Amino acid sequence: MKLSRSLTLIFLVLLFLLVSINSASAFCGFYVAKADSNLYNQASQVVIARDGNRTVLTMANDYQGDVNDFAMVVPVPVILKEEQVKVGEPEIIERLDGFSAPRLVEYFDEDPCRRAYLQEESFRMPAAPQADAEMKTSRQNALGVTVEEEFTVGEYDIVILSAKESNGLEIWLQENGYKIPDGAREILRPYIQQNLKFFVAKVNLTEYENTGFKSLRPLMMAYESPKFMLPIRLGMLNAQGEQDLIVYLLSPKGQIELTNYRTVKVPSDVEIPEFVQEEFAPFYKAMFTKSYERNGKKVAFIEYAWNMANCDPCSAQPLNREELRKAGVFWLDNSRGRGGFNDVFITRLHVRYQRNNFPEDLKFQETANNQLFQGRYVIRHPFPEKRDCDAADSYYKSVRERQDREAITLSRLTGWNIYDIRKKINFVEFKDVPWWRSIF
């Protein structure tokens, strides 16, 4: 049997948590495209809704392959009961992704011969082998592994394990049909030393067939603990190169930030050439890679930070109250009186990582920072008709200068060849056009 993504998901999902573990001006414009998680072949997604020590974690499963081979091992800070685990809805993660995705917006120049301002529109779119029970218990004791809880949720068979040493845990997982990569014991050891438990899941084939779904649904878990982190080291065991992780962090307070790695904002509010409207996906991928390299491949990027009360411009409608509940937001309409969309702040973090540049798990903290930010890229369309008035000549000259700046900006952001960029730009003409512009 073959596993898509080289079993990355098995331990990339391991990464998925261990929770308990500049002021933006109004962005009026017309939204035209977004850079969502579909841009990346190996982008894993996790949603963390957190208030104080209480956490709801949602792990997206984009697993592709024989479901017989699916396995998930997640370090967790507490022993989870069946009522603390449920199957989530994939559409909620898609909604969060769409709402928070970096976006392309467009503006249209006014007629240079008419003193009128463009009225810019802003909108708020508004199974282990059968064995005798006593023999199994004896074997578990010998390996130092204890099955703390065992239950089925949706299409998943789940066990909660505690372990005394990593070698015994590795052997137990292998003997019980979990395919784990080589070298697991060394990565598991620090989690055992921290007295963490292990959430282990695989697919119940009968239940999976009964669901009628063609793909595995997200798993959600709720618990309380002061630790607030993501154990990404386990996700690096059998990774083939760099991996992308997108984390949607929901808080009633404000932005959630990393404490052990530098967090920077993606380049934003830059004007780029018109042709990028047709090439936004390759543009964003190239720009992100360039920014990642310039920062030494050791930073996490904020792609979006906003509350659910509004958005400007919107790449998708803000989540409504019921959708937020399904995303794990548990503090709306609680006894403390919070219940408005201003009390749900989303931080979208994008981390690209591999073994040599992210040696530690991600550690987070809640903050009261309510500054709004979005990855936003602007296209300005010149006035399409030729005009002949006193203001027209200076207007066309300013547009030409703007197009030059846009070409340079695009080359700087992406590393694309400036001459190739210029070939794609429909430069406007004005009286003082240098002769060499036709070839350079």
Range picked from 238-242, 267-271, 312-316 for highest mean pLDDT:
267-271
- Rounded Cα distance between 276 and 410, Å, is 9
pLDDT band (50, 70, 90) for residue 202 = confident
| 424: phi then psi, degrees, rounded to nearest 5 | -95, -5
| 423: phi then psi, degrees, rounded to nearest 5 | -65, -25
- Rounded Cα distance between 41 and 128, Å, is 32
User: Over 80: is that where the pLDDT of 198 sits?
Assistant: yes
The token duo for 388 is 């002949």
- For 114-140, the pLDDT digits (tens) are 743 333 333 333 334 444 556 666 666
| 177 Cα distance to chain centroid | 31
pLDDT band (50, 70, 90) for residue 356 = confident
Top pLDDT among 304 and 28 is at 304
Top pLDDT among 258 and 206 is at 258
User: Over 50: is that where the pLDDT of 176 sits?
Assistant: yes
Cis preceding-peptide flag for 181 (omega within 30 of 0): no
What DSSP string describes 2-23? -BGGGGHHHHHTGGG-EE---P
Q: What is the CA radius of gyration of the chain?
A: 25
| 210 Cα distance to chain centroid | 30
What mean pLDDT is reported for the chain?
A: 81
pLDDT band (50, 70, 90) for residue 8 = very low
Q: Count of CB atoms within 10 A of residue 289's CB?
A: 15
Q: Count of CB atoms within 10 A of residue 219's CB?
A: 25
- Rounded Cα distance between 128 and 148, Å, is 16
Angle, nearest 10°, between helix axes 166-175 and 133-143?
Answer: 150
The token duo for 402 is 């703007």
Name 133's Cβ contacts closer than 8 Å, sequence gap at least 6.
Answer: none
Q: Looking at residue 1, what is its pLDDT?
A: 38
pLDDT band (50, 70, 90) for residue 361 = confident
User: Over 80: is that where the pLDDT of 328 sits?
Assistant: yes
Q: Which residue has the tokens 């697991």?
A: 184
Q: Distance of CA 90 to CAs 95, 216, 345, 356, Å?
A: 9, 9, 21, 32
Check residue 369 and give left, alpha or beta (phi > 0: left; psi -120 to 50: alpha): beta
The token duo for 88 is 């989530």
- For 29-68, the pLDDT digits (tens) are 566 778 888 777 667 899 999 999 999 999 887 666 677 7
E strand or H helix at 74:
strand 71-76
Closest CA to 303 of 283, 288, 289: 288
Average pLDDT over residues 310-314: 84
**Residue 121, Cβ density class (10 Å: 0-12 exposed, 13-18 middle, ≥19 buried):** exposed
Range picked from 19-28, 30-39, 404-413 for highest mean pLDDT:
404-413
Average pLDDT over residues 403-416: 96
What DSSP string describes 131-173? --HHHHHHHHHHHTEEEEEEEEETTEEEEEEEES-HHHHHHHH
- Rounded Cα distance between 51 and 122, Å, is 31
Each domain of the chain, given as residue ranges in start order, spans 4-381, 384-440
- The β-bridge relationship of strands 243-251 and 43-51 is parallel
Closest CA to 73 of 143, 166, 142: 166
